[in-house]
Amino acid sequence: MDTNTATVEQERAAPQGRVNTIDYKMVTFSLAGKDYGVDIMNVKEIAKAGRFTFVPNAAPYLRGVYNLRGDIIPVVDLRVFFHLPAEKKSDEALENMLILRLGEHVFGVVVDNIDKVVGIQSSSIQPPHPIFGDINIKYIHGVVENQNRLYIILDVVRIFAQKEEEKPRILSETPSGSYYAPVTGPISVPLTDSVIEARDEGGGTDLDFIKQTLFALKRFAATPLNEAWVNRRFEEWKKIQKSSDLQLKNIEDADQYLETFYSPYSGNFWGEDFIQAILQTLPDTASRTIQVWNPGCGKGFETFSFACVLRKRYRDAQIKIWANDSDLLAISQAPNMVFQLDDVPEYFREFLVKGRNGYTFNSTIKDSILFEYHDILNSNPFPELDIILARDILSFLPPVDQNRIISDFSEKLKGKGLVILGKNEQIVEEGWTSLGKDPVSAYTRKE
C-alpha cells in the first residue's frame, strides 16, 4: 500500500473545513542517518545540553544525569542503546536532547538531530518488519512513510520500561488497549485530555493539533483565557496557509501563528496611544501608597513605562512596584538600564537623568521598583495589591496553573484593585467585572 498516494487522494477528496485525517503526531529526529519518530504526547520538551554528570557503574547507554531546572533526570543515548555509530562530540559541544515524560518519569534522550513535528494518519502506521532491523524490533511501534521519508516510530514506553524495577504498568492499564500512554500528573491535564477525547471520537481537529504544538514548542496554553483570539487567529491562518497543510511544523511556524497575540508595545516603551488607554482605566484613589505586582516584566520596559505613568497620575502617592520574571537573562539588566535619549519616547524623558554612558531613570522611579528573579509558579509572597499588571504571561502557563494564579490574583487584590491582562486575554471565570477597553484588558473583583 502506497501510503503517500492514499493520503494525497484523501486530501483532494476532503473539502476544506472537514475534520482532517491526521490523528497522530510525532516529533521526528535522526539516529545514525535514519529517521525516527516519537509520539508527541510523550515529549515534554526539546533541549540542547552538554555536560551530563557522569554516573559510574551504570549501563553504557546511560550518559549520566542532567539537571533540568532542579529535577535530576537520567539521560540515555539512544545511539549507544541501539548500538548505532555515534559521532564523537567534543566535551564542550551541545547535544540534541528530547525530554520525554512517561507517566511520572522524565528522561532525557540524546539523538543526532531533532527535525520537526509530523502529523500522519495512525492507520498508515505499518507494523515493524525485521528488515528495518538496525534496532531490536521489540522497540519499534511501527513504521510510516511521510513526504518521501520513512520514519521508524519508537515504542519509548517499552524502551524505558527496561530501566524500571517495577513492571511497566503503563501499557496494561491503558483503556481500549491502545498504545498511547495515559495522561498523568497535574501539568498536562486539560489540554491533552481534550486532544485524547477528540482522538477517541475518531479524529482530532486541525485546531486541536495546532494548540498542542503551540504548547509543546512555545509553552502557549490555549484555554478559555485566550480562546477568542485563538479561534479568530485560526480563521486568519486558514486564509494565510490557503490549501497547504495547516499544521505548525516548527518553531518558526509557531512564532508566526502567535504574531498577532502579543499586547501593544511588548518589550518596548509604551506609546502615547496605549498610555492614554491605560490612564482611562486607572481609577481615582486617595491612597497614600499604590502597590503593584508586575509578573513577567521581561527586560523591564513595561515596568518603567508603568512606573512613569503612575507617577504622573498619582502625584502624591508612594509607588511601589514588584516586578519579576523567571528569565534571568532578561531581567538581570533591568535595574541598571541605560538609554540614548532618542530611544526614549518624549513622555518619559522628564524622568531621565544623564549619566556617563547615557540616560537612566531618576532615583524616584528606580527606587519605586523592585526587580526580582522569581518564578510565578512558586509561592508569591506579595502584600495587598492595588494593581496587578500581567500582560501575556498567563497564556504561557500550563492550564491548571493559569486558574490557580487567577485565584491568587483574586486573593491578593485589595477591594477595588485592578488586574490588567494582555490585549487578547480575558478572564471568563465568575467573580470578575471587565473594565477595560481594547487594547487594555482590565478586571476588578465583583463585590
Partner 1 sequence: MRVEYINPFVEAAFNILKEVLNTEVRRGELYLKSTTMPVLGVAALVGLAGDVEGRVLFDMSKSTALAVASTMNGEQLTTMDELAKATITELANMITAQAVTKLHDLGFKFDLTPPALFTGDNMEVSDHEVEALIVPMEVPEGRIEINVAIRERA
Which residues of the chain form contacts with partner 1 (CB under 8 A)? 53, 67, 69-70, 326, 328, 331-332, 334-335, 370-375, 377-379, 381, 383
DSSP, residue by residue, 296-328: T-TTSHHHHHHHHHHHHHSTTSEEEEEEEES-H
* Nearest distance, CB of residue 284 and partner 1, angstroms: 27
User: Residue 92 or residue 166: which is nearer to partner 1 going by CB?
Assistant: 92
- Distance separating alpha carbons of residues 121 and 130, to the nearest angstrom: 23
- Distance separating alpha carbons of residues 79 and 159, to the nearest angstrom: 13
* Per-residue DSSP letter, 339: B
User: Residue 357 or residue 379: which is nearer to partner 1 going by CB?
Assistant: 379
* Nearest distance, CB of residue 51 and partner 1, angstroms: 8
* Per-residue DSSP letter, 288: S
User: Residue 122 or residue 324: which is nearer to partner 1 going by CB?
Assistant: 324
**Helix (H) or strand (E) run with residue 5 in it:** helix 3-13
User: Residue 200 or residue 375: which is nearer to partner 1 going by CB?
Assistant: 375
- Distance separating alpha carbons of residues 315 and 54, to the nearest angstrom: 59
* Nearest distance, CB of residue 359 and partner 1, angstroms: 20
Q: Which residue has the cell 502557563?
A: 397
- Read off the amino acid at residue 153: I
User: What are the residues facing 389 on neighbouring strands?
Assistant: 420
Cell representation of residue 445: 473583583
User: Residue 272 or residue 327: which is nearer to partner 1 going by CB?
Assistant: 327
Tell me the CB-side half-sphere exposure of residue 105, using CA atoms within 13 A: 20
* Nearest distance, CB of residue 301 and partner 1, angstroms: 15
User: Residue 131 or residue 328: which is nearer to partner 1 going by CB?
Assistant: 328
**Residue whose C-alpha is closest to residue 139's, from 60, 31, 244, 240:** 31
* Nearest distance, CB of residue 387 and partner 1, angstroms: 18
- Sequence-distant (6+) residues with CB within 8 A of 254 are 213, 214, 217, 218, 220, 248
User: Residue 228 or residue 370: which is nearer to partner 1 going by CB?
Assistant: 370
* Nearest distance, CB of residue 321 and partner 1, angstroms: 13
* Nearest distance, CB of residue 374 and partner 1, angstroms: 7
